Amino acid sequence: MSDLQDLIDDFDFITEIAYDLSQQFDGVQTEDRKRKVSTYYLAKVVPECISLLKVLPGSRFTKVEDIFDFPSFCSISRSLIEASNLHWYYCVESIDSESTDFRFSLYDYHDYKSTIQIGNFIGADENDLGILKKSCEDLRVRIKEHPKFSALLPEVQRQILKGRKCSDLNQTEICEHRGIDINTFNGVYKLLSTNTHSTPSAVSTIVHTRIKGSGLQHAFACLVLSYVASFVAHMVKTIGELWELEFAKEKSAEIIYLFAENLSEST
């Protein structure tokens, strides 16, 4: 348990740093779209980091002897990795203004499309939905006329227009752009996805744990938590750089840069 406990303690510290960073943006206004959206992703990630700690036995929220909800651990971990990747896709990658405009059009279109679908389901006010539908249709036309859209595969185009994709790159392609080792990423992502759903492999993992002990889950948890911590740390690092902020404590900078560099070293 010692190695995992050390990782839990490190992840707790990274979460605390992320939370403190998020508090600095409370009430802050900016016209810079990348900066603005970066704070949105940080606001999403911080509660998920806390949720991850709450399912890990031996964290500040749990006891060592508590049952390890491994499927929930995998689900939250996958969500954190995806958020880190999308944050990099929208806010960090160095691209031209045309590409940036296209990506944020996809961001807004997916947001509008999802809101409309939810609004229809719950019976939202038709006038409000009408305004949203008009904005959504305007964006749809803008996206379809964009040169970047015409270069995409037909299936990707279809998924975007249906509101099922918010980016023109999938998670693996984003990691490839980031310079992250694809084999490692695909392996971890497959592990997380398999155990998030009720697949035969996920069931077998639970049965194996019940019969032979938690050694397998412990090994998986160490691998995954270290990987997730690197994604979160890299995200915190890049948000600080985007906003030209410095860490208040040297110890905070050390752990963020250590785990962020671990992600870079996986290339």
Contact 95, 49 (CB under 8 A): no
Model confidence pLDDT, tens digit, residues 88-125: 999 999 999 999 999 999 999 999 999 999 999 999 88
Answer whether residue 211 shows pLDDT above 70. no
CA distance 141 to 137: 6
Answer whether residue 184 shows pLDDT above 60. yes
User: Which is higher by pLDDT, 161 or 205?
Assistant: 161
CA distance 14 to 182: 24
Q: Tell me what pLDDT residue 267 has.
A: 42
Cα 210 to chain centroid, rounded = 31
Its pTM stands at 0.92
Question: Sign of the CA dihedral 129, 131, 134, 139?
Answer: negative
Q: Tell me what pLDDT residue 143 has.
A: 98
Q: Tell me what pLDDT residue 1 has.
A: 46
CA distance 89 to 79: 15
User: Which is higher by pLDDT, 254 or 128?
Assistant: 254
Over the chain, what is the mean pLDDT? Answer: 93
Contact 237, 263 (CB under 8 A): no
Give the containing element (helix H, strand E) for 235.
helix 215-242
DSSP state of 145: T
Helix and strand tally (H, E) in the chain?
A: 12, 0
- The tokens describing 100, both together, are 């940036």
Query: Under 8 Å CB-to-CB from 244, ≥6 apart: which residues?
Result: none
Stretch 222-246: mean pLDDT, rounded?
Answer: 97
Q: How far apart are the first and last CA of the chain?
A: 28
Query: Under 8 Å CB-to-CB from 17, ≥6 apart: which residues?
Result: 236, 247, 252, 255, 256
Range from 67-81, 143-157, 170-184, 209-223 carrying the lowest mean pLDDT? 209-223
Q: Tell me what pLDDT residue 195 has.
A: 87
Q: Tell me what pLDDT residue 26 has.
A: 87
Q: What is the 3-state secondary structure (H, E, C) of 30-76?
A: CCCHHHHHHHHHHHHHHHHHHHHHHHCCCCCCCCCCCCCCHHHHHHH
Number of neighbours of residue 19 by Cβ within 10 angstroms: 15
CA distance 228 to 262: 11
Least Cα distance to 216 among 243, 195, 234, 233 occurs for: 195
Answer whether residue 151 shows pLDDT above 60. yes
User: Which is higher by pLDDT, 113 or 198?
Assistant: 113
Model confidence pLDDT, tens digit, residues 126-148: 898 999 999 999 999 999 999 99
Percent over 70 (pLDDT), the chain = 92
Give the containing element (helix H, strand E) for 199.
none
